Amino acid sequence: MNVQASSDYTIGRRGFRISGEARLSARTISVDDPDGWAEDAATRQKFLRRKGFQPIQHRHNPDMEPALTEVIVRPVDTRAQRKRFIKLPWRIYRDDPCWMPPLVMSQEELLGFRPHPFYERSKSRSFLATRGGRDVGRITAIVNAGHIERYKEQRGFFGFFECDDDPDAARGLFDAAKDWLHGQGMTTIRGPANPSLNYECGLLIEGFETPPFFMMTHNRPWYGKLVEANGFGKIEDLYAFWGEISMLNNLDSKLATMVEGVKERFGVKVRPLDRSRFDEEVRMFLEIYNSSLSGTWGFVPLSSGEVKHMAESLRHLIVPELSLVAEVNGKPIGTVFCLLDYNPRIKAINGRLFPFGFLRLLWNKKSITRMRAISTNVVPEYQAWGVGLVLMGALVKPLQDWGMKEVEFSWVLESNHLSKRSLERGGALVTKKYRIYQDDPPKPGG
């Protein structure tokens, strides 16, 4: 049975590999060639002839039309391919008003297209899917060395997944990612993680009708079925809670009494981030983040290089008075970390910081009245004290003084019952749900 390889060639056998990384199926070709895959037809023909493919004779036959648009999946190697990989979402979401473009330079770093400390130990491989000469999907396969070291399991990850509503393209992308990860010794796969749970992660499954807050993901509604059709099932959901600042005036009186009791009993004091020691303070925030989440599902600590890089990246985005520190006897024991919702400004500059985008991004921050509360973290030995409630209570006045109108608390693991209950008691509503998938086989009897 012949399998269509491109608009010009057929292949007379199924299921062979090219260069050990690519898969050929009845509807999908993955090509990994050391010479690269050229876009012009003449060079493609030479490439295919070298591989033993034979040209077919074109006829004006309507029955052949579907075969002219088969999917080709290629690894991303060249500068041009990287640019196409980055730019694909602009086409997929061109009519979606809720999509927010990423900061291009940040995306390049997180993909490993530019230096980033995550890749000092970890590695990745990105793939593009094309149909009829048009890019229709992308994916990145990731080997997270920190995860392997911490959990003693050969688990790979996928991330940066984007795709048209095209099951064949999605299958080709996941096949290519799985083949590469299996070649790296990985036996199971989880995702999406871009590139880890410390960065953007999760597939949106509810809440498509509103735009995401800063550093949260957004995707087309059909992505879930594409992922699930490739052997993935739910492992954990993440919630985004939303609230108006006016709701804080109606906090449960018992909750307010509890906050005051904790402050008095344990001598907890709360202060804003110290501008005069900004770099040191941000590093302290991130170190508390690392230590506080040690028992959290799927967590892998940021490396020292990532802490330094993230601190530098956040330098101009953090508003000190909206990030608070809890101390006991002068020792930092907890933090609440918030960032303004810069997404509308990033959309206005189309993800480009240069030459003048960064000025538009950072100008007049006071006019931004939406904020994302990213994390409330307390070091383990103080987590039973209620310090998190003290921090959230202390945040009310700075938010009111700023003129903040909306806050999203994200993300919260569905298994984090304490945080969920606290937010629900405060009146916050779940407005979005995200899902983490993995392809582990079902447990016996499960």
SS (H, E, C) 390-428: HHHHHHHHHHHHHCCCEEEEEEEECCCHHHHHHHHHCCC
pLDDT recorded at residue 12? 32
pLDDT band, residue 298 (cuts 50/70/90): very high
- Burial of 338 per CB tally in 10 Å (0-12, 13-18, 19+): buried
Number of alpha helices (DSSP H) and beta strands (DSSP E) in the chain = 13, 21
Q: What angle do CA 308, 311, 316 make, to 5 degrees?
A: 145
Phi-psi region of 351 (alpha: psi -120 to 50; beta: other; left: phi over 0): left
pLDDT tens profile 14-63: 332 333 333 333 334 444 443 444 445 555 455 545 555 444 333 333 33
pLDDT tens profile 370-380: 999 998 999 99
Which residue has better confidence, 335 or 44?
A: 335
pLDDT band, residue 294 (cuts 50/70/90): confident
pLDDT recorded at residue 134? 95
Calculate what percentage of the chain has a pLDDT beyond 70: 81
pLDDT recorded at residue 8? 32
pLDDT band, residue 360 (cuts 50/70/90): confident
pLDDT recorded at residue 47? 52
Which residue has better confidence, 362 or 8?
A: 362
- Is 229's pLDDT higher than 90? yes
Q: How many residues does the chain have?
A: 446
First to last CA, the chain: 40
pLDDT recorded at residue 422? 79
Which distant-in-sequence residues (6+ apart) come within 8 Å of 79 by Cβ? none
Token pair belonging to 344: 């509308």
Amino acid, res. 27: R
pLDDT band, residue 292 (cuts 50/70/90): very high
Q: What is the arithmetic mean of pLDDT over 340-349?
A: 95
pLDDT recorded at residue 25? 37
The β-bridge partners of 238 are 413, 434
Alpha helices (H) in 229-382, listed in sequence order: 253-266, 278-292, 304-314, 343-348, 357-362
pLDDT band, residue 106 (cuts 50/70/90): very high
- Coil, strand or helix at 110: helix
pLDDT recorded at residue 179? 98
Which residue has better confidence, 344 or 421?
A: 344
Q: Mutual orientation of helices 387-402 and 417-425 as an angle, nearest 10°?
A: 40
pLDDT band, residue 332 (cuts 50/70/90): very high
Q: What is the arithmetic mean of pLDDT over 140-157?
A: 98
CB 160 within 8 A of CB 194: yes
Cα dihedral 193, 197, 201, 205 sign: positive
pLDDT recorded at residue 137? 98
Q: Indicate the CATH number of 3-201 among 3.40.50.2000, 3.40.630.30, 3.40.640.10, 3.40.50.2300.
A: 3.40.630.30
How far CA 307 is from CA of 6, 152, 281, 286, 343, in Å, comes to: 46, 23, 12, 6, 23
Which distant-in-sequence residues (6+ apart) come within 8 Å of 375 by Cβ? 289, 335, 336, 337
Q: What is the arithmetic mean of pLDDT over 168-190?
A: 98
Q: Where are the domains of the chain?
A: 3-201, 242-434
**242-434 — its CATH code?**
3.40.630.30
pLDDT recorded at residue 58? 35
Torsion, Cα 426 431 436 437, to 10 degrees, reads: 140
pLDDT recorded at residue 19? 36
pLDDT recorded at residue 103? 94
Q: What is the arithmetic mean of pLDDT over 314-327?
A: 92
242-434 has the same fold as 3-201: yes
CB 310 within 8 A of CB 302: yes
Cα dihedral 68, 3, 131, 226 sign: positive
Which residue has better confidence, 99 or 254?
A: 99
Q: What is the arithmetic mean of pLDDT over 349-357?
A: 82
Q: What is the arithmetic mean of pLDDT over 171-197?
A: 98
Calculate what percentage of the chain has a pLDDT beyond 90: 65
Q: What is the arithmetic mean of pLDDT over 415-422?
A: 86
pLDDT recorded at residue 412? 95
Torsion, Cα 215 221 223 227, to 10 degrees, reads: 110
pLDDT recorded at residue 446? 42
pLDDT recorded at residue 263? 86
